[in-house]
Amino acid sequence: MEAGGNGDENFDDISIYDQLFDTTYRNSHAIIVGAGAPPGGVFGLDRSRMDFSNYGARINLQGYGHGVYTTGYGELFDGGGDPDQYYTADFNGTSAASPIVAGAVACLQGYYKLNYGAVMTSDYARDILITTGSPQQGSPEHIGPRPDLQAAIAALSPPPSLYSEPIYIDTSLEPNSIGNATVWLYNRSGTYGIDFSITANDSITKSTETDWLDATPLSGTVPAEDSVDITVTLDGSLLEPALTVYKGELEIAWGVAGGVLDSLSCIPVFLSIPCQPDTVYDVAASTDVGGPDYEWIEITGIGTMIPHYWYYNPSAPGGVLDDGTAGPIVLPFDFPFYGGSYDKVYVGVNGAVSFTETELNLDGYYSDLDIPGNHFTTFVAPFWSDLIIGDGLVGHGDIYHYSTPTDDTIIIQWNQVGNFDSINDTLTTFQVILTRTGDITFQYLSVGTSGLENRALVGINAYGCQAISYLDDAEPAEHMIGNETAVRFDSGIELVMAGDPDDSGGINLLDILFLISFLYSDPPGPEPDPYASGDVDCNDSVNLLDILFLIDNVYMDGDDPCYYVPIP
């Protein structure tokens, strides 16, 4: 039950609400109540819309919008000044109307359950009350009829003769396991049997999931006033562990024994295959014992500001400096992240980057997200908040990026950016630091002045089961970030020095001869394993320059070879 609201708004105005109140587009199954005039004519024609009530096809029923007796206020009776005895005779608005209709629905539901041993759906209750209610009068702005409980009870019809217990299945399985559930089909009829046929759909959306859902038997007969049990098999061995829930359904076609199966019931099935611990990263903050040091690296004077024309937002073109994304920005190295390797990054205004997502928003706008989540394939969120840059009304600041001369680190800095919801908060400054080893560091010079740290999402996520939620809406409290703090996600990857292509454990003449054989022998000698071990100058290829580099290192005390990230 929902109060329709007192704003004199037309929910059918598609220029404002589009399809938000169209039940053929999306149906919340709620019963929404408008405010009508009560009998007596004091507040207008009985059952006419009160001029403050919201209206439209989605307003289903009406209750008294004025002159309602209830507790509180005390102008009707004040109990000698005792607030616990206050009563009023003038409660009003859709807040007064909706409990009147709620009471009618509760009475109707109780009658239905008592007489039929089952409960009504909200859609059925809504339809019955609308069909049998006392019609709206007066103004054409629709708020629906007033419930007539006596007429509604007379119009009730028994539920389908076949019903199930439970009405849905919601369970979880360990990875690679198989589970069973029992569903009972009951026949309420005392005079005839019911034939049934079950189809197990492995996805409500009819997508291409494997056949993880089955039932036995798939057909049969339920005798009069009797029941049969169905064994439902859920094969988790066919499904990957996931952060999302697998959704299936059992469709049951049924009818009188020997006749046509012209009725349909559905049993939704929800199956979770929980993710196993797979964080890869160790995370610690500068406030933890043994945590990383906070060492702010100011890049606004040495880095590159992302030009405003780089930002794009096709879903909301006016929001390129609000919820837009810039990129790709080429990384100076291949960045390892949860088993993948990435050479570019996309930067979102709202305090996050991704190695794969070209748009870091939801349908063009900022939205609260959770980690773990499946919104993006890769998601690194130092300070996911509703931010805005540029020189607009609340916009401020810019985003910079900088790669170190050694090409082993890139820094992305949100510098004095604005808070979309607070015009005066323009101090928020933070950065994400990515290194060749896969380490990720978030640093916070300032978290602003409007409490964004209490709402920000901080963490990393790859699609599937790989995620670390460090802070989400100030939870857990011990992970709260503040000014001049740092959070580091340590990948545990250790760089390996190149220059040992023969994998002998040392760098010497044999490695030089190994590269000469690989490059110039006919047929060629074996390839360095891994290939990066022969790329001693880290220019992404093995060639004569690497041989000369090794000769210089081994015999002329030249520079040491560069380092590479080992492939697992």
CATH superfamily of 496-564: Dockerin domain (1.10.1330.10)
Q: Using the structure block, give the residue that is written with the tokens 């409500």.
A: 204
Q: With pLDDT > 70 as the criterion, what percentage of the chain qualifies?
A: 97
- Closest by Cα among 391, 397, 121, 411 to 266: 121
What pLDDT, on the 0 to 100 scale, is given for residue 203? 65
| Distance separating alpha carbons of residues 396 and 426, to the nearest angstrom | 6
| 568: its two tokens | 């697992």
Burial class (CB in 10 A: 0-12, 13-18, 19+), 50: buried
Residue 207: which pLDDT band, with cuts at 50, 70 and 90?
very low
Burial class (CB in 10 A: 0-12, 13-18, 19+), 86: middle
User: 304 or 25: whose pLDDT is higher?
Assistant: 304
Burial class (CB in 10 A: 0-12, 13-18, 19+), 209: middle
Please write the tens of the pLDDT for every residue from 431-453: 999 998 899 999 999 999 999 99
CATH of 162-272, one of 2.60.40.10, 3.90.1150.10, 3.20.20.140, 1.10.10.10: 2.60.40.10
Question: In DSSP terms, which residues pair with 32 in a beta bridge?
Answer: 2
CATH of 2-155, one of 3.40.710.10, 3.40.50.11540, 3.40.50.200, 1.10.10.10: 3.40.50.200
Average pLDDT (277-303) is 89
| 194: its two tokens | 């019911």
Average pLDDT (134-142) is 94
Give span(s): CATH 2.60.40.10, the chain: 162-272
Please write the tens of the pLDDT for every residue from 243-253: 678 889 999 99
pLDDT surpasses 60 at 204: no
Residue 160: which pLDDT band, with cuts at 50, 70 and 90?
low
pTM: 0.54
Residue 567: which pLDDT band, with cuts at 50, 70 and 90?
low
What pLDDT, on the 0 to 100 scale, is given for residue 478? 92
Average pLDDT of every residue of the chain: 90
Give span(s): CATH 1.10.1330.10, the chain: 496-564
pLDDT surpasses 60 at 208: no
Give span(s): CATH 3.40.50.200, the chain: 2-155
Please write the tens of the pLDDT for every residue from 318-372: 889 999 999 999 999 889 898 788 999 999 999 999 999 999 999 999 999 988 7
pLDDT surpasses 80 at 489: yes
Please write the tens of the pLDDT for every residue from 53-82: 999 999 999 999 999 999 999 999 999 999
| Distance separating alpha carbons of residues 159 and 167, to the nearest angstrom | 14
